[in-house]
Amino acid sequence: MHGIDGIIYLILIACLMPYFFTIVAKMAAGFKAQDNQNPREFLAKTTGLAARANAAQQNSFESLPLFISAILMAEYMVVPQFFIMLLGTAYLVLRVLYGICYMANWATLRSIIWFLSMACPIALLLIVIKLVS
């Protein structure tokens, strides 16, 4: 996986990841067909694992704009593919670990992993800034 194909897969996986956490949240909460009338209200009222998985889902969506913009800007500015794939893959792996920590209720480790995951797209944007200055 290299070039634009790799970039597309990175973005696709990052965009699908929040839905995995949504499925976990709904399964943990015993989601039923009638709950689909207002699933956001249903998930907002959950506790425990379901609430934590829902929070991981929300945070995953919140981090997407920074990740996608960093990946696309890096590709546009012809940052070496190695750096794009390395930092993009690291972001994805760290986001999976972040979700696991969130669902396991490991708050301190979750915060550390969140910071490291956010450092990946920020590093890409810093490389872009260095290229244009």
Domains of the chain by residue range: 3-132
Q: How far is CA 62 from the centre of its chain?
A: 8
Q: Can you tell me the distance from the alpha carbon of 84 to that of 6, in angstroms, rounded to the nearest whole number?
A: 9
More confident residue, 56 or 33: 56
**Given 1.20.120.1760, 3.30.70.100, 1.25.40.10, 1.20.120.550, which CATH number is that of 3-132?**
1.20.120.550
Please write the tens of the pLDDT for every residue from 42-60: 899 999 999 999 999 999 9
Q: Can you tell me the distance from the alpha carbon of 21 to that of 43, in angstroms, rounded to the nearest whole number?
A: 12
Q: Tell me the average pLDDT across 98-115.
A: 98
Which tokens sit at 127?
């490389």
Q: Would you place residue 2 in the very low, low, confident or very high pLDDT band (cuts 50, 70, 90)?
A: low
